A and B are shown apart, each in its own frame.
Chain A
Amino acid sequence: DSGVTQTPKHLITATGQRVTLRCSPRSGDLSVYWYQQSLDQGLQFLIQYYNGEERAKGNILERFSAQQFPDLHSELNLSSLELGDSALYFCASSASGTGGLEFFGPGTRLTVL
């Protein structure tokens, strides 16, 4: 158990819908990262937050957004969902914002029908 929690574990929805994925980092960790893992793309970095502020952005679509709240949990919002958004979404946390060890959550499996 990494100490990072993600909810829900599974999510099935339809194209065009909007969903929210939630991540609670390890106690004391200030940095939260989001990754997407689809079958044909491998693990792709989406976005990082550090203590409530956006720190780095990867290949995140404009239909996706994220935020980190004062209690340090983070939410990833996916809208206008397409079939290709079906993937595993992982959240990771680290103590520092500069290259600390990342600990990954169990992931949320999103299926878009």
Chain B
Amino acid sequence: DAKTTQPPSMDCAEGRAANLPCNHSTISGNEYVYWYRQIHSQGPQYIIHGLKNNETNEMASLIITEDRKSSTLILPHATLRDTAVYYCIVRANYNTDKLIFGTGTRLQVFP
């Protein structure tokens, strides 16, 4: 699996957009970018994933650079409940099923 690099921590004011970066410079052409988050000690929660096009769902947007070497997860209007550890994971969809979690980014949303 390709490795990812994320900043260990970030702060964001409530109501503002939170932009969480991820570097995955060794990503292969068939590998997807997944984002999960873990609130306190709860089970990780799926947020979004993409291959090369930008993706948006009700939770977030995922922007992947054209060369696919990095991506940004955007929470458009962060709330206090978005305080969590965010994990960026890359993996192929065909033969590597397991998620390999790195250390993630601890996002603190403040009032």
Give me the interface of A with B, judged by CB distance under 8 Å: 2, 4, 31, 33, 35, 42-45, 48, 55-56, 58, 88, 90, 92, 94, 97-107, 109
Contact = CB atoms under 8 A, between A and B. Distances in A.
A107 to B, nearest CB: 6
B41 A101 contact: no
28 contacts: A4-B43, A31-B97, A33-B98, A43-B87, A43-B101, A44-B101, A45-B98, A45-B99, A45-B100, A90-B43, A92-B43, A92-B44, A92-B99, A97-B97, A98-B94, A98-B97, A99-B91, A99-B92, A100-B97, A101-B49, A102-B99, A103-B46, A104-B43, A104-B45, A105-B43, A106-B42, A106-B43, A107-B43
Contacts, number: 62
Interface of A is mostly: strand
Interface in B28-46: 32, 38, 41-46
A99 B107 CA distance: 26
Of A43, A90, A97, A103, most buried by chain B (CB within 10 Å of CB) is: A43
B20 to A, nearest CB: 17
Contacts of A106: 42-43
